[in-house]
Structures are given as structure tokens and as C-alpha cells.
Amino acid sequence: MSLKTKIDPNKLPKHVAVIMDGNGRWAKKQGLKRVLGHGKGTEAVRKTVESAAELGIEALTLFAFSTENWNRPKFEVDTLMSLLVSSLKKEISTLQKNNVRLQTIGNIEKLPRKAKEQLAEVIELTKNNTRLTLTLALNYGAREEIINATKIISKKIVNNDLKIEEIDENIINSHLYTFTLPVVDFLIRTSGEKRISNFLLWQIAYAELYFTDVLWPDFNKEDFYEAILNYQSRERRFGKISEQIENSNKEAEY
Ligand code: IPE
Ligand code: IPE
Ligand code: MG
């Protein structure tokens, strides 16, 4: 029986973020070239998007290319960029069928022209979809995002559009690339690495973290359900004590 049946639909994370890692190691294990792992990884993307949409999760953010990934061999970077274009084209029907809206975070200006054009096309085609917001983090780095936000906020102060005293969490939030998205409740990283690698540093301040040894190309729907079940077993205390959380849950039931 699928683990899906065990998931409580009333306790879903609103926003799930995923560091999709392990494509290269997956390929090596099969005796294949690294880049073939990325191609296989796109199947895991499709499965994860479908399961998130089917469950009723509002937002799914996938780390697809980091600001640091430009430092990989040129052939690998080029392959990743062409794979982005071809899989966007190929998956339009998956997005439409599942009522998924696509958007990006990160500085996409730096991407090759073809990738930008293909992204713009799919973003436009899916802009009225309402079930799930799929955000691809492309040329994304959390430090770059924070620097970018700091510059915009500083300009507003210099122009007298904002006072220093007005800077609070909401102001910072609203200047990050993720400003339209709900708070990140859950962060998944595949492949056994236990690090954040410059992903959503501000946004995961209170997210539940989940690390699995499964390599991204092997990650399937059941692996996703297992992760969600694990999330549902956690007690999120936000600095409070257990009894306070239990009491507020009881009140919510009445
Ligand atoms: C994740 O897989 C995909 C990207 C970072 C683009 P990797 O390519 O990092 O795979 P490993 O970590 O080398 O196995
Ligand atoms: C993080 O994975 C970036 C993406 C998943 C796109 P990496 O494989 O690049 O991370 P590090 O460098 O090993 O930490
Ligand atoms: Mg990696």
C-alpha cells in the first residue's frame, strides 16, 4: 500500500524546498558519464511535482542551479542549460495537466538566451494555474539574494522611501526573491550530504530539515511521501514548550 494513504491532508507543509543532489554520483554508480545523471534527474523532478500537486501542497521550490555551479566544467554547465530548455519544453503538458504555475528565483539574467526565452514562455503559459506554485531556483544563491535585497532597501532609504526604523522581518522578506511564497516549512536534501549549500538561508530559519541517502535520480513518489510523513511526525515548537503546543492543538479542535 502506498504511503500516500497515511498522510494527513490537514497537516501538510505549505511550502517544500528541495536540494536535488546526487545526479553525478548516480551516473558514476551505473558506469555512466556524470551528465547522464542530470537527464535521469528530470524524471525525479516530474514525479515530485506530480506528488506535491496531488497532495495539495501550495508551493514547491527546487534548487536546480546554484551561483556556485558555474564553476563546474563548461561541458557540464552547457549540458545543464540545454537540459533545462528541453525539459521545460517537454513538461509543459505535465504542468498544465496538474494545474502547476511555474516561476523562478535567482538572477536569471545570467542564463543563456535560449533558457531565458523558454522559461518566459512556460511562465506565461502557466501563469493562471492555481494548484501548485513550482519555483525553480536558477543561478540562485542565498547570499546573492540577501546582497540584492540589501541594495534595494538601501536605495529606498537614500531616496527617503523607507526609514531605517521601519526595517523589520517583513521588510526583509518582501525584498527577497521568494516574497510571494509562503514560509518554507520543510527542506529536503537528497544524496546524503548534510549541508545547505547557500540555499534559502533566511527562509529556512524555522524549517524542518530532512536528509535522505537516496540519490536524486532514484527519488520517487514513495520517497516523497516518506519525507512528508516524517515532517508530520515532528513537533514544531517555535521556541515554545511542548505543553503549549499540545494545548493550542486541543483548542484548535474545539
Ligand atoms: C545535483 O547533482 C544537480 C546539480 C547540482 C545541478 P550533482 O551534479 O551535484 O551530483 P553529485 O553531487 O556530483 O553526485
Ligand atoms: C547544490 O548542490 C546545488 C543544487 C542542487 C542545484 P551541489 O552539489 O552543487 O552542492 P555542493 O557544492 O556539493 O555543496
Ligand atoms: Mg552535488
pTM over 0.75: yes
CA of 250 to the centre of ligand 3 (A): 43
The confidence score (pLDDT) of residue 254 equals 55
Determine which residue's CA is closest to atom 2 belonging to ligand 2: 21
The confidence score (pLDDT) of residue 250 equals 81
The confidence score (pLDDT) of residue 19 equals 99
513538461: which residue's cell? 91
Determine which residue's CA is closest to atom 9 belonging to ligand 2: 69
Q: Which residues line ligand 1 (CB under 6 A)?
A: 20-25, 65, 69, 80, 191, 216
Indicate the domain borders of the chain.
9-253
pLDDT along the chain (254 residues), means of 10: 97 98 98 98 98 98 98 98 98 98 98 98 98 98 98 98 98 98 98 98 98 98 98 97 91 66
Question: Catalytic residue positions?
Answer: 21, 69
Q: Relative to the alpha carbon of 215, which ligand is closest? A: 1
pLDDT digits (tens, 9 = 90+) for 157-199: 999 999 999 999 999 999 999 999 999 999 999 999 999 999 9
* Ligand 2 atom nearest residue 140's Cα: 6
554520483: which residue's cell? 25
Q: Relative to the alpha carbon of 61, which ligand is closest? A: 2
Q: Relative to the alpha carbon of 138, which ligand is closest? A: 2
Q: Domain 9-253, CATH 3.40.190.10 — does that match?
A: no
Pocket test for ligand 2, best of 70, 197, 204, 219 (most atoms within 8 A of CB): 197
Strands (E), the chain: 15-19, 59-66, 100-105, 132-140, 186-189, 208-211
Give the strands of the sheet with 208-211, arranged side by side: 100-105, 132-140, 59-66, 15-19, 186-189, 208-211
The confidence score (pLDDT) of residue 202 equals 98
Pocket test for ligand 2, best of 18, 20, 21, 144 (most atoms within 8 A of CB): 21
145: CB partners within 8 A, 6+ apart: 105, 106, 176, 177, 202
